[in-house]
Amino acid sequence: MKESDTFAALRAAAREKILVLDGAMGTMIQQHKFTEADFRAERFADWPRDLRGNNDLLVLTQPHAIRAIHLAYCDAGADIIATNTFSSTRIAQADYGMEELVPELNFEAARLACEAARESEAKHGRRHFVAGALGPTNRTASISPDVNNPGFRVVSFDELRDAYAEAARALIDGGVDILIVETIFDTLNAKAALVGIDQVFDDMGKTLPVMISGTITDLSGRTLSGQTPTAFWNSLRHAKPFTIGLNCALGAREMRAHLAEISRIADTFVCAYPNAGLPNEFGLYDESPEYMASLVGEFAESGLVNIVGGCCGTTPPHIHAIAKRVAGLAPRKIPEIAPLLRLSGLEPFALTKEIRFVNVGERTNVTGSAKFRKLIKEGDFSAALDVARDQVVAGAQVIDINMDEGLLDSEQAMVTFLNLVAAEPDIARVPVMVDSSKFQVIESGLKCIQGKPIVNSISMKEGEEKFIEVAKLVRRYGAAVVVMAFDEQGQADTCARKIEICSRAYKILTETVGFPAEDIIFDPNIFAVATGIEEHNNYGVDFIEATREIRRRFPLVHISGGVSNLSFSFRGNEMVRQAMHSVFLYHAISAGMDMGIVNAGQLSVYEDIDPELREACEDVVLNRRPDGTERLLALAERFKGQGTERAE
Ligand code: THG
């Protein structure tokens, strides 16, 4: 898609120097001590609700004051000025009954800021960029406002997406150069904003640079919705923002460690605009321009930032002092980041070499667990959450959630369960794998997840066109993806077919869809062996050998599979099933399988398996002798009733 010339100019400017963003709008507006009548002016004299405090309305009723603030920040040395639109979304303006004014508020605010920028450019001969501000709204998508009903949500992803899109469109129409999604306290709100913005870019046939700025308001170093800085970045990186960073909150001193963390891992520009310190007992901020500039200056000297500015409590003297302090200091260099699968729940997860194998918990699956199915059907969500929690305790690094059951409203069950999981920090700390054969269920699930999840799964079953369509959607929501070795002809059962389908899917995903290879997880199909049907005997080998070749061809991708499928014919004999799984994984992992949907905590250690049983399993898994199945069946009789308890 077309990138604006301004985009290139901005990028070039950011490579050359540390850019300066403006300071607080609210603090400057406060100094005017506008009355209710000032807020209304003539046009809104009869508006049925109080309007004092609706700062964004001033672009219509006191445009000269807003324009003067922009000019003051330009004079102070700001390269980028932000529009007075922090609350100009349909959701935030509902407080004043001004939803219908949203397009006008954004358009006029953009026009006003652009006029000021042009006026200042004429005066100083220095370029200014205008950023259209998109605030967080006053609602949160992943936290319930009702402590007694943790699954409840006051705002939906779709409402947020549409509200952000409406505001963004008007800002762009009004002439802004940049969009800034700011003061994000809930990453799910930001994900909705980015999906909305993406749609606007598509409609308009052009893209603008997008700045993303989160806020960490408590001393634990997490966002309001509970994410760590790296988890926050992992959730949003797919949007390829022009900057990522932090603003507002507790001031520069408290922000530093979190900013440093983001600065280390983000392969894009970093922006910081803290408040002028901690609010005092009157809710005011009293760090002096010099003091704040010394802290922000240290960010710059330490190579943490590319753009700096100020949030609450900052004024043109603060921006002037900051601009002076960072002038001539080198901007942060964008680091090279290793292409790893990077997911997040409340906490980040990266599939590094040291990890070798990721345990994905299989128990939160209504088709894979009679117990979980019963709990969901009966609506016993508290016990169902315990199933999820037990898996995390047992070592699951990701949890697979599947609600595909004929008699259930799968979509509703998925949404309810995910919203409840979001309220349990000990579960929500790990990433989610959203498992469904219905893409609609997956999409509804994605709208409930603030982290970076995995979609399980998509395939070319219904042809290339449909595959591309859903893959694009998965990417837009920022998820990684499991791709089944399944095409128009059916599910791949031989090694050659598995390789052929995965290679075709790889090409489409990386070349047509623009999917990063490290976010692709191929599932070459684990089928049951030792079923008594001869054609099934080589299924283990076919999977293992396909895995080896796929990883050889595409080193950045991952290989996963539903491990418990392998042993379906030994249902009821846990000891033998566990032994088969361990033997299978022993060989599959060495061939390159690095993820598996497993009964976390129920995998036995290869070396600890009874040697006779192990050899019999190996004969079956590796299809080493024609009588392998019979021999394992005979042996299995001896191990019946054992191995049901947990093995670490
Ligand atoms: N690939 C991908 N996703 C998948 C699968 C896959 N998702 C579902 C499934 N296969 C993986 N999950 C399970 C979960 C449970 C079992 C098997 C696979 C299982 N359950 C026992 C049984 O049915 O005997 C437990 C029964 C019970 O406790 O009630 O074996 O292949 N991408």
Protein residue with least CA distance to atom 25, ligand 1: 369
**Bridge partners, residue 19, by sequence:** 307
Q: CATH number for the domain including 42?
A: 3.20.20.330
State the closest ligand 1 atom to the C-alpha of 571, by its place in the atom list counted from 1.
24
Which residue out of 558, 565, 575 has the highest number of ligand 1 atoms within 8 Å of its CB and is therefore the one to mutate?
565
Protein residue with least CA distance to atom 14, ligand 1: 368
The total of structural domains in the chain comes to 2
Residue 339 lies inside a defined structural domain of this protein:
no
Residue 641 has pLDDT above 90, yes or no: no
Residues 476 and 531 in one domain: yes
* Boundary of a domain, candidates 307, 326, 345: 326
Which residue out of 359, 360, 362 has the highest number of ligand 1 atoms within 8 Å of its CB and is therefore the one to mutate?
362
* Boundary of a domain, candidates 309, 326, 343: 326
33 within 8 A of 320, measured Cβ to Cβ: no
Q: Which amino acid type is present at position 131?
A: A
Protein residue with least CA distance to atom 9, ligand 1: 562
Residues 93 and 218 in one domain: yes
State the closest ligand 1 atom to the C-alpha of 572, by its place in the atom list counted from 1.
24
pLDDT of residue 218: 85
- Of 341-345, 545-549, 643-647, the poorest mean pLDDT is in 643-647
Ligand 1 within 6 A of CB of 456: yes
pLDDT of residue 639: 87
Q: State mean pLDDT over 413-433.
A: 98
DSSP helix/strand/coil, 363: coil
Residues 295 and 382 in one domain: no
pLDDT range class, residue 646, cuts 50, 70, 90: very low
Protein residue with least CA distance to atom 21, ligand 1: 368
Closest by Cα among 112, 108, 115, 105 to 135: 105
Residue 320 has pLDDT above 90, yes or no: yes
Protein residue with least CA distance to atom 30, ligand 1: 564
Q: State mean pLDDT over 51-61.
A: 98
Residue 510 lies inside a defined structural domain of this protein:
yes
Phi and psi (nearest 5°) for 496? -60, -45
Residue 604 has pLDDT above 60, yes or no: yes
Ligand 1 within 6 A of CB of 387: no
Residue 646 lies inside a defined structural domain of this protein:
no
Which residues constitute the domain of residue 95? 5-326
pLDDT of residue 219: 87
* Boundary of a domain, candidates 326, 342, 375: 326
Residues 275 and 369 in one domain: no
Residue 648 has pLDDT above 50, yes or no: no
- For residue 179, the CA-to-ligand 1 centroid distance in Å is 44
Protein residue with least CA distance to atom 5, ligand 1: 562
Residue 312 lies inside a defined structural domain of this protein:
yes
Q: State mean pLDDT over 223-245.
A: 98
Residues 220 and 281 in one domain: yes
Ligand 1 within 6 A of CB of 436: no
Residue 644 has pLDDT above 60, yes or no: no
Residues 27 and 75 in one domain: yes
Ligand 1 within 6 A of CB of 602: no
285 within 8 A of 261, measured Cβ to Cβ: no
Residues 105 and 25 in one domain: yes
Which residue out of 363, 597, 598 has the highest number of ligand 1 atoms within 8 Å of its CB and is therefore the one to mutate?
597
Instruction: Provide the terminal-to-terminal Cα distance of the chain, rounded to the nearest Å.
Output: 51
Ligand 1 within 6 A of CB of 155: no
State the closest ligand 1 atom to the C-alpha of 400, by its place in the atom list counted from 1.
7
- For residue 483, the CA-to-ligand 1 centroid distance in Å is 17
Protein residue with least CA distance to atom 13, ligand 1: 368
Residue 471 lies inside a defined structural domain of this protein:
yes
Q: State mean pLDDT over 455-473.
A: 98
Predicted confidence (pLDDT) per residue in 172-206, tens digit: 999 999 999 999 999 999 999 999 999 999 999 99
Protein residue with least CA distance to atom 3, ligand 1: 562
pLDDT range class, residue 600, cuts 50, 70, 90: confident
Residue 406 lies inside a defined structural domain of this protein:
yes
Q: How far apart are CA 78 and CA 277, in angstroms?
A: 20
pTM of the model: 0.97
Residues 320 and 366 in one domain: no
Residue 644 lies inside a defined structural domain of this protein:
no
pLDDT range class, residue 472, cuts 50, 70, 90: very high
| 441, burial (CB in 10 Å: exposed 0-12, middle 13-18, buried 19+) | buried
Residues 457 and 519 in one domain: yes
Predicted confidence (pLDDT) per residue in 71-123, tens digit: 999 999 999 999 999 999 999 999 999 999 999 999 999 999 999 999 999 99
Q: CATH number for the domain including 379?
A: 3.20.20.20
Q: How far apart are CA 567 and CA 539, in angstroms?
A: 11
User: What does pLDDT average to over the chain?
Assistant: 96
Residue 346 lies inside a defined structural domain of this protein:
no
Residue 567: enclosing H or E segment and its boundaries? Answer: none
Closest by Cα among 452, 478, 480 to 238: 478
Protein residue with least CA distance to atom 31, ligand 1: 562
Q: How far apart are CA 223 and CA 507, in angstroms?
A: 37
pLDDT of residue 643: 58
pLDDT of residue 645: 45
pLDDT range class, residue 350, cuts 50, 70, 90: very high
Residues 110 and 256 in one domain: yes
Residues 197 and 114 in one domain: yes
User: Please, where are the H alpha helices in 423-482?
Assistant: 425-428, 439-446, 464-476
pLDDT range class, residue 2, cuts 50, 70, 90: confident
Instruction: Please state the three-class secondary structure of 98-158 as a single string.
Output: CHHHHHHHHHHHHHHHHHHHHHHHHHHCCCCEEEEEECCCCCCCCCCCCCCCCCCCCCCHH
Ligand 1 within 6 A of CB of 365: yes
Ligand 1 within 6 A of CB of 401: no
